[in-house]
Structure 1
Amino acid sequence: MKIPVIKKLVESCTIEELQAAEQAILEEQPLPIEIEGSDEGEQLTHAIAAIWILERMQEANLDFKTALREYTQKVRESIN
């Protein structure tokens, strides 16, 4: 998971575009948008993170840094 890639996606894509990219990855289809990543797994991680952050920003009226912090905390908790 690379924060600069997620930030770029949040700033340049809509939730719908990211969801379409997520679906394309899952169906092994060409991506409709460019998502950086070393493989499909990393691209999927970036897309899912950006979707979660954008949704959180909208529903709670948060800025990017706060929503990102919440997301990374959620990831850390799931690992432990």
Structure 2
Amino acid sequence: MKLSVIKELVENYSLEQLKKSEAAMEEGETPTFEIKGEDEGEQFTHIIAAVWIKEKMATDGIDARSAMREYTQKVRNSIS
């Protein structure tokens, strides 16, 4: 997981665009735009994270930085 890639997705694509690409990847299709990553698993991780962050921003009315911080905290807690 590369935070710089997730940040780029959050900044450059709408929630709708991100969800369409996520759905395409789930169906084994090519996403509607390039998603950086070592392999399809990492690319999928990036798109899922970006969707989560965009949704958090919309539901909680927070900025991208705060939502990303919450996401990384969530990941850390799930690992430990």
**TM-score bin (small chain):** over 0.9
- Structure 2 residue 38 is matched with structure 1 residue 30: no
- Which residue of structure 2 aligns with residue 11 of structure 1? 11
- Tell me the number of residue pairs that the alignment of Structure 1 and Structure 2 aligns: 80
Runs of 5+ unmatched residues, structure 2: none
Equivalent position SS for 1:66: helix
Cα distance, 1:33 vs. partner? 1.2
Amino acid paired to 1:73:
Q
- Structure 2 residue 46 is matched with structure 1 residue 78: no
CA distance in 2, matches of 1:36, 1:74: 22
Cα distance, 1:13 vs. partner? 0.6
Runs of 5+ unmatched residues, structure 1: none
- Which residue of structure 2 aligns with residue 55 of structure 1? 55
CA distance in 1, matches of 2:66, 2:10: 13
Cα distance, 1:8 vs. partner? 0.7
Cα RMSD of the aligned pairs, angstroms, is: 0.9
CA distance in 2, matches of 1:63, 1:19: 19
Could you tell me the TM-score, scaled by structure 1's length?
A: 0.93
Cα distance, 1:23 vs. partner? 1.3
CA distance in 2, matches of 1:45, 1:37: 9
Amino acid paired to 2:20:
A
Cα distance, 1:20 vs. partner? 1.2
Amino acid paired to 2:7:
K
Could you tell me the TM-score, scaled by structure 2's length?
A: 0.93
